[in-house]
Structure 1
């Protein structure tokens, strides 16, 4: 309990947030890593997920590969990538992308598949092309689930983002590993609390976005 109180006191100290190694800079690094990893994963996974959901092709391989990728240990992926690429941000970024892609694919094809076939058939009967059906019907109606996939991927990356420091990158993991190395448990707890708060804040943002999407679509 004393360590937790010390950690909260450390977070309340203005000096702890200053400088390139302070909590403020490290938290921004952590958010930046998360944003880059999720955005890159979305560029890869959203087209694949939308294709699977729209055409119905490749669903079983997509589900199987997603399960296999999710089973990979993130720390192991980072270590393996670092052996080939060296220390720095590249290795953990690859691991974060590998972690995030399955959730985004699953959210994308689940969102498209959730749209009523009656609605899709009605759109086609009106003369809509397959692209129009996808972008004007399936994506808007399936947006809550698509956002759900992005939400899960984001929370996964935020939670594991501390491992970037394991191979020399930044983020809140720097304080966590520093506290572990020096047995400064309040510093470790303070960094952990900040990661939790970032995850909660991002979860709230996505939750509100999903709610707005549901209200817009009437689902």
Structure 2
């Protein structure tokens, strides 16, 4: 009964968020959020990535807390965790006898690969491919399928120079026609513009 009541609260919170934010924004940021548990004062939700956790905590934490408080007046904190980051508990060892170590297997010899050729350009070694100036963040068409990647790319490119950025390195993966090439060109341009001394390779 308690589990059913909890799922009902989360369903109502999601419904209010969807109504306030619209379908596209809701699906971008809350489509993969799952309810985990609640105790006397804390509600725990989970997301698949650290970036999604950071975005929700910085942009929607207050609204989430207000909506949960409307469901339960004693909730004072929302916790968002990343799924899969909790290590499973170690299983108890039934036999204390140490396991026999198998004999070492012969190691395969791996030939060293030739060093990649460095592209020369106005910036010297590793200048990469030329960047198309037509592609920028301003001309990027963001929508529900690529909004998360767009926000992450901007966070990387526009980060304060010299400061560690939790979203760098950033891996971009998508199907055909989702804007990967445009986004990478735009990220390269914006990163160079933010700090001309920084080495940025496309």
Kindly indicate whether structure 1 or structure 2 has the higher relative contact order, using CA contacts under 8 Å at least 6 residues apart: 1
Larger Rg: 2
Tell me if TM exceeds 0.5: no
Higher helix share: 1
Q: Report the TM-score when normalising by structure 2.
A: 0.21
Q: Report the TM-score when normalising by structure 1.
A: 0.19
